């Protein structure tokens, strides 16, 4: 009989600088490595980097940002908390014009909407949390041990 693993979570404060992006990617990779099949690590790293980079670039207010990773039997949820209460641009509602393919910026939220199973934002006591969910990797798609 197969038993679902218990939920596990990590909460880490990160500086509100560009240095937070590779640290956040490494933390997500490490968390997902602890639970085989929790979610696709490459996709989780990419989307986490987008959320952290957006928080560093766009959030106003003082204080660090916070990364929260939760592993569930059904997949994973990643949240990035920042001190700015303003909601992220067009996370849940696509902008009318598509991003310009020749610009360096403007596709992060599109990636999050497209590659996650769900995403959104919510207010917190100190600002907001922006999140995404990824499904667990089906057992038959996992790499053999």
Closest CA to 58 of 95, 106, 96: 106
Residue 50 contacts residue 115 (beta carbons within 8 Å): no
Q: How far, CA to CA in Å, does 100 sit from each of 90, 104, 107, 110, 113?
A: 15, 9, 9, 12, 17
Report the share of the chain in percent with pLDDT over 90. 53
What is the tens place of the pLDDT at every residue in 95-135? 556 666 656 666 678 889 889 999 999 999 999 999 999 99
What is the tens place of the pLDDT at every residue in 76-98? 999 999 999 988 876 666 655 66
Pairing, β 118-124 against β 127-135: antiparallel
- Ordered by start, the domain boundaries in the chain are 8-141
Determine the average pLDDT of the residues in 46-75. 90
Residue 25, pLDDT above cutoff 60: yes
pLDDT of residue 36: 76
Determine the average pLDDT of the residues in 53-79. 90
Rg (CA), the chain: 15
Supply the CATH classification number for the domain 8-141: 3.30.565.10
């Amino acid at each position: 009989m197969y038993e679902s693993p218990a939920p596990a979570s990590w909460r880490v404060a990160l500086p509100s600088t560009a240095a937070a992006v590779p640290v956040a990617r490494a933390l997500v990779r490490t968390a997902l490595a602890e639970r085989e099949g929790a979610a696709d690590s490459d996709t989780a790293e990419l989307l986490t980097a987008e959320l952290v980079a957006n928080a560093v670039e766009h959030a106003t207010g003082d204080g660090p940002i916070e990364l929260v990773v939760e592993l569930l039997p059904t997949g994973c949820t990643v949240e990035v908390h920042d001190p700015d209460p303003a909601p992220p641009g067009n996370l849940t509602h696509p902008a009318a014009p598509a991003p310009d393919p020749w610009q360096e910026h403007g596709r992060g939220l599109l990636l999050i909407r497209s590659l996650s199973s769900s995403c959104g934002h919510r207010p917190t006591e100190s600002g907001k949390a922006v999140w995404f969910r990824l499904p667990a990797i089906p057992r038959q798609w996992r790499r053999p041990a």
